[in-house]
Every structure is written in structure tokens, then in C-alpha cells.
Amino acid sequence: MSERPLPRHVAIIMDGNGRWAKQHKLQVALGHRKGVEALRAIIRESSDIGIEALSLYAFSTENWRRSPGEVAALMGLLLEYFTSEIDELDEKNVCIRILGDKDGMPDKQRAALINAEERTKNNTGLNLNIAINYGGRAELARAARILAEKAVKGEIRPEEITESALADALYTRGLPDVDLLIRTSGEMRLSNFLLYQCAYAEFEFPAALWPDFDLAAYHEALEAFRHRDRRFGGRNS
């Protein structure tokens, strides 16, 4: 079978920071900090090899259940990341989009997220989606609300609520479906990430904990994808 092209849209569930910290007898916050370094390298590489869209799961609607100390550390890192990286990302022509409910974020973080989106919205390089305060079910409920409001106003008829109308009401509007979903740390579940967009995604579950996920591991996952036989319900002869 011939090799396929690279995935257009890669989604990554960056998991294993806590276990990495434990392994190294460090506080969990340091695991998350180390995780940011891995993230920088993966974003840069994705941009360099011409991936069209990269969606990273950074903080789920369920992650608020963690201890106040860990949540505060994550919020601090988020702010730091968006403040320190925005220049380089903008220079690299990266278009940043936040997936998730920004209104549920603390003021400073919300302002930084809005600023990143505004500043890079006309960039034409890598589409970098960062999922923050994101849940797939919440996203679908929000899409249903958007469409219902349009219907109530008479802007759309119920029969016009098609798969593509629904896709247009998601945060990922205008982007291709996820081709490859990678979850690090060996866990094999979606944890409420991109439920609609992953309908025909290929899955890779590398064992590496997120802070140890390097470019070699990333290329291994991309290579595995290129050998998959994708049928989308049909037959490839």
C-alpha cells in the first residue's frame, strides 16, 4: 500500500505531566512546566512540516476538579505561555484559536487569550487550536443553542440543520475534521475531546509521558498514520 500524505489536522491530548513529576519526585506544577517545553517543540515542528491544523488539549472543563493549588499553577503557566510566546507565534504566521469557554476563565487569562486570537487572526500559517476550559459535550450543547437561537429568530429552518450547519456552529468552524488523534502516556480514551470532529480520526497512543514526547515520537505517530488504511465506510478496492 502506498504511503499517504501527512494528516491535515492533528489533535493531541497532552497527558502524563502528573506522572512525570511523580517519577522525578517533583511537584506536579513542575511536571506541567516541563510539559510546556514539549509543547513548544511540537508546535514549531508542526508549523515547519506544514501541518494545516494542530489542536492541543490544555485544560478540560473537568480539570477544575483538581486541587486549588494545581489549578492555580496551570492558570499561571497559561498566562505565562501566552505572554512569552505570542511574538514568536505571530512571527511564524501561526493563527491561534481558543477552543472552549473563555468567559469561564479568570480575567487576566481571558484577556491574554482574546489578545492572542485577535493578534493572529489574519495569519495564514499553522492553525493552532488550544483547548482551554473545553469539553466536547459543552461544545455540542453550545452549537445546539446557537442553532436554536437562529431558528427562533427565523434565520434558519429546522430542515437546514444539517451536519455542515452543526460543524459551522462548533469552535473548529472552517477547519478539516481531525485526521490523527494522539494521546500520550498510554491512556486510551477521549476524555471529552473533539467528540464530533474525531468521527473518523485515526488514533495513536504512544507510551511516552507528555514531557518526554519528543520530535522522534511525534514523527513515529505521523509515520504510523501514513500507513493506515482509511475507508470512511467505503472500500479501497
Q: In what order do the strands lie in the sheet with 95-99?
A: 95-99, 127-134, 53-60, 9-13, 180-183, 202-204
Which string of x and - marks every residue 60-79 that binds ligand IPE (by CB under 6 A)? x--x----------x-----
Span from 9-17, 24-32, 135-143, 215-223 in contact with Mg ion (CB under 5 A): 9-17
Are 81 and 59 a contacting pair, CB within 8 Å?
A: no
63 is catalytic: yes
Beta partners for residue 181, in sequence order: 11, 203
Tell me if residue 15 falls in helix, strand or coil. coil
Q: For the CA atoms of 65, 39, 107, 117, what is the dihedral angle to 10 degrees?
A: -130
Stretch that binds ligand IPE, among 52-60, 97-105, 121-129, 152-160 (CB under 6 A): 52-60
Residue 36 engages ligand IPE in binding (rule: CB under 6 A):
no
Phi, psi of 233 (to 5 degrees): 90, -10
Encoded amino acid at 95, one letter: C
What are the helix (H) ranges across 50-67?
none
Q: Is 179 in the site for Mg ion (CB under 5 A)?
A: no
Query: In angstroms, rounded to a whole number, what is the distance separating the alpha carbons of residues 52 and 171?
Result: 16
Bridge-partner residues for 9, per DSSP?
A: 53
Q: What does the per-residue mask of binding to ligand IPE show for 170-199, with x meaning CB under 6 A? A: ---------------x-x-x-x--------
Contact 139, 99 (CB under 8 A): yes
Q: Which stretch binds ligand IPE (CB under 6 A): 17-25, 46-54, 146-154, 170-178?
A: 17-25
Residue from 17, 48, 63, 177 carrying the catalytic annotation: 63
Q: Does 85 bind ligand IPE (CB under 6 A)?
A: no
Residue 70 makes contact with Mg ion by CB under 5 A: no
Binding mask 128-167 for Mg ion (x = CB under 5 A): ----------------------------------------
| 16 part of the interface to ligand IPE, by CB under 6 A | yes
What letter would DSSP give residue 228? -
Give the number of residues in contact with Mg ion, rule: CB under 5 A: 1
Q: What is the smallest separation between the CB atom of 207 and ligand IPE, expressed in angstroms?
A: 12
d(CA 21, CA 209): 10
DSSP single-letter state for residue 207: S
Residues that bind ligand IPE in the complex, under the rule CB under 6 A: 13-19, 57-60, 63, 74, 185, 187, 189, 191, 210
> So which residues are the catalytic ones?
15, 63
